Amino acid sequence: MEAPPVTVMPVTGGTINMMEYLLQGSVLDQSLDSLLHRLRGLCDNIEPESFADHELVYLLKGQQGNPFILRARRSLAHPTAPWHLRYLGQPEVGDKSRHALVRNCVDVAASHSLPDFLNEMGFRMDHEFVAKGHIFRKGVLKVVVSKLSRVLVPGNTDNTEPLSLSYLVELSVLAPAGQDTVSEDMRNFAEQLKPLVHLEKIDPKRLM
């Protein structure tokens, strides 16, 4: 038997051994302005960035084990910008002492031929969506408030339909493995967004 084409071992060593600490929540459309207002007050005093991205999730299935998942993102607002390829590991919930979800995370910029390349490697697209929203920063903390839309006609990002009446709110930090203290900062920040948004560590497995 030949070995599975790709291992799902986490990438270790060097600068790419980064973990993403994540808290998630949502806010109703009608409360969005209040939230943005508060974030503008809480976060670094720079003009908040807006974005419109198209994310394609690719799978590579081996004979056994988990499929290998890669997420390719491109900016709809800046079509000439490089693509963004991201690997996310299995999320770890951990115990109560850690206040955020942790997962392995590898980010790379890629050229525009990324979809072709992935296809040639045997990856297949599993699903796609469009995310539009705003990014705020406060030091290492990153807050993304985005509207998710499903793509009605595959590949046509102009024809989309909102997934729900809410905006997804994600608070994340990229840090080397083991720096669980950042989750403390994240929790403190999340406290300040209540009651507008309840940012929690949500185990995605629970939602399946």
Partner 1 sequence: MNGDSYQGAQVGANVQSQVDTLRHVISQTGGYSDGLTANQMYSPQGINQREEKQLEASVESLISRVAHLKNSLQSFIYKLENEYDRLPWPSVLDNFALLSGQLNTINKLLRNEKTPSYRNQVIIPLLLSPDRDEELAKLTEQRVPVFSHEIVPDHLRTKPDPEVEDQEKQLSAEAARIGQEVAQKQIQTLNKLCSSLLEKLNSPRDDRDAESSALRQNKQWFNPTDTNALVAAVGFGKGLSKCRPPNSVTPGHPGQAMMSGGPTLQQVTIAGAPGHQTGIGTSVAQQQPGQPGKMPSSIKTNIKSASASMHPYNR
Count of residues that bind partner 1 according to CB under 8 A: 51
Choose, by CB under 8 A, the member of 67, 82, 89, 94 that binds partner 1: 67
Q: Is 40 in the site for partner 1 (CB under 8 A)?
A: no
Q: Is 66 in the site for partner 1 (CB under 8 A)?
A: yes
CB-based burial label for 48 (10 Å; 0-12, 13-18, 19+): middle
Residues 150-169 that bind partner 1 (CB under 8 A): 150-152, 154-155, 163-166, 168
Name the residue among 107, 88, 86, 94 with its Cα closest to residue 180.
94
Q: Which helix or strand (DSSP H or E) is residue 69 part of?
A: strand 68-75
| C-beta of 78 vs 179, nearer to partner 1 | 78
Q: Is 107 in the site for partner 1 (CB under 8 A)?
A: no
Structure tokens at 184: 């403390």
Dihedral sign of CA atoms 191, 93, 20, 81 in order = negative
Choose, by CB under 8 A, the member of 69, 93, 106, 135 that binds partner 1: 69
Residue 160's alpha-carbon distances to 50, 53, 76, in angstroms, are 18, 12, 13
Give 16's contacts (C-beta < 8 A, 6+ positions apart). Answer: 106
Interface ranges with partner 1 (CB under 8 A)? 24-28, 31, 34-35, 54, 56-57, 59, 61, 65-67, 69, 90-91, 115-116, 119, 124-129, 131, 148, 150-152, 154-155, 163-166, 168, 195-198, 200, 202, 204-208
